[in-house]
Amino acid sequence: MNKLLYIAKRLVLGVPVILFGLTMTYVILYLSPFDPMTAILGRDSDPQTARQLAISLGLRYPNGDPVPLWIQYKNFLIETTTFDFGQSWVVTRGQSAAQLIWERMPATLWLGTWSVAIALVLGIPLGLYAGLRANTWGDYTASFGGIVWRAMPNFWLAVMLAGLLSAGGLLSFYRGFLIPTDVIGTPAALGNLFGSYSLGGIGIPVPNPYNWAVAFKWILPAALVLGSSSMGNEVRIGRTAVLESINAPYIDTAKAKGLSERVIIGKHVARNAMIPLLPVIMGEFYLLIGGSVLVELIFGIRGLGNLYLSAIFASDVPIIGALTYVFILILVFFNIAQDVAYTIIDPRIGLEGGDD
**With contact defined as beta carbons under 8 Å apart, do 125 and 267 qualify?**
no
DSSP state, residue 189: G
Residue 347's alpha-carbon distances to 240, 271, 291, 343, in angstroms, are: 22, 11, 32, 6
In a domain, 11, yes or no: no
- What is residue 338's predicted lDDT score, i.e. its pLDDT? 79
Round to whole Å and give the CA distance between 219 and 188. 11
The predicted pLDDT at position 7 comes to 77
Residue 20 forms part of a structural domain? no
Treating both helix axes as pointing N-terminal to C-terminal, what angle do 317-345 and 97-118 enclose, rounded to 10 degrees?
40
- For 135-167, the pLDDT digits (tens) are 888 888 888 887 887 777 778 888 888 888 887
Ranges of the chain with pLDDT below 70: 1-2, 196-203, 229, 283, 285-291, 346-356
Q: Which residues of 211-235 are buried (b: 16+ CB within 10 A; e: fewer)?
A: beebbbbbbbbbbbbbbbbbbbbbb
Give the pLDDT of residue 200: 62
For 170, residues 6+ apart whose C-beta sits below 8 A from its C-beta are 164
Residue 151, domain extent = 98-349
* Axis crossing angle, helix 137-151 with helix 209-246, rounded to the nearest 10: 120
Number of structural domains the chain divides into:
1
203 part of a folded domain: yes
CA 297 to chain centroid, in Å, comes to 15
pLDDT score for 348 = 61
CATH code where residue 325 lies: 1.10.3720.10
Residue 92 lies in a domain: no
Q: Looking at residue 192, what is its pLDDT? A: 82
Residues 6+ apart with CB under 8 A from 316: 39, 88, 89, 90, 91, 310
- Amino acid at position 72, single letter: Q
- Which pLDDT score, from 0 to 100, does residue 288 have? 61
Residue 185 lies in a domain: yes
Report the distance separating Cα 214 and Cα 178, nearest Å: 10
Would 175 be classed as within a structural domain?
A: yes
Per-residue pLDDT at 354: 45
Whether 64 is in a domain gets the answer: no
The answer to whether position 285 is within a domain reads: yes
